[in-house]
Chain A
């Protein structure tokens, strides 16, 4: 096969990040209790469970790849009284990148999205994702029309990006570029979505 048709030969290779997700994600999110959190499958589900447990202010997926941003959107529209945070990975977001366009046209002021980008499909053996091969998800978020976008690749950018997530007047998006060499936290969590749903609602819905 001609080299012209091989993935990665046409696009310039993107440098992978250097941040350790086990430090960078909690630093960016701050107090997890300030948020209602939806996490995509795999790495970000573990990041989120490790931050939030034993509290139940999060719903983490273990399937339905590509659904996290849209879930966060429905939650944000339902709960204008709370700030909603979506934590998703590069592979998860790439599966439904159009959801950034849907978020942008609604532009809910209480919805913040963090894409934890390790440039790889960590759950399936660390095959390179498109973001290792030139695709820039922060540029795609900007192109979708989300005004508040940051790309963070060093510890010095975390504080300002964290403020943006909390204070933006519309939907916000932070691409957090992390190293693929540091795995997500190890934590046991329930894979029962019905239990997770009921637990989340009991913990977060107003009484009555």
Chain B
């Protein structure tokens, strides 16, 4: 098990995150498993990623903090729902496990992988890429501070340099 995934979950807990939404994904496997095993965490599997954006906006209405975990392809499913974030100035933390990027072997992943950053930035997110395991904890702490302290929308991109590229 990669230690950086432990670091990531620990930072979320430090910032009192209590809701995790996801569509099952190999890149977020440890986060998903840990959230399922954590009695203090609402671990919510979705049918489509955009539900997670609306869900976390609802969580904020209720005073709770959450994180939406998704693969890069999921960003494409969220675009109109991001209107809620930009128009409503909702704090929003999105963790993106990247496909369609460094070393990708499946061409179907390429278009959305390459569109993640321009799409998120067009909808008002600050994006940050993490390439190295030793950078995860610091970047997550920075992202959580910007989201939960400053009320921003931040996309943290876990790149294929970090999680490994699929060769198929």
Residues of A within 8 A of B (CB): 36, 38, 59, 61, 63-79, 96, 98-99, 101-102, 105-106, 193-194, 196-197, 200-201, 204-206
B62 touches A99 (CB 8 A): no
A6 vs chain B, min Cβ distance (A) = 28
Partner of A201, one of B63, B66, B84: B63
Interface on B for A, CB 8 Å cutoff? 18-19, 42, 44-48, 50-64, 66, 80-81, 83-84, 87-90
**B90 and A75 within 8 A (CB):** no
Which residues of B lie under 8 Å from residue A70 when comparing CB positions?
46, 50-55, 58
Chain B residues contacting A102 (CB-CB under 8 Å) are 44-47, 51
Query: Given the complex of chains A and B, what is the CA–CA distance between A66 and B42 in angstroms?
Result: 22
Q: Contact check, A193 vs B59: say whether CB atoms are below 8 A apart.
A: no
Binding site secondary structure of chain A = helix
What A residues does B44 contact at CB under 8 A?
Answer: 73, 77, 102, 106
| A and B contact pairs by CB, cutoff 8 A, 30 listed | A38-B61, A63-B80, A63-B83, A66-B50, A67-B50, A67-B54, A69-B54, A70-B53, A70-B54, A70-B55, A71-B57, A73-B55, A74-B60, A74-B66, A76-B58, A77-B18, A78-B18, A78-B19, A78-B58, A78-B63, A98-B51, A101-B47, A102-B51, A194-B87, A194-B89, A197-B88, A201-B60, A201-B61, A201-B63, A206-B63
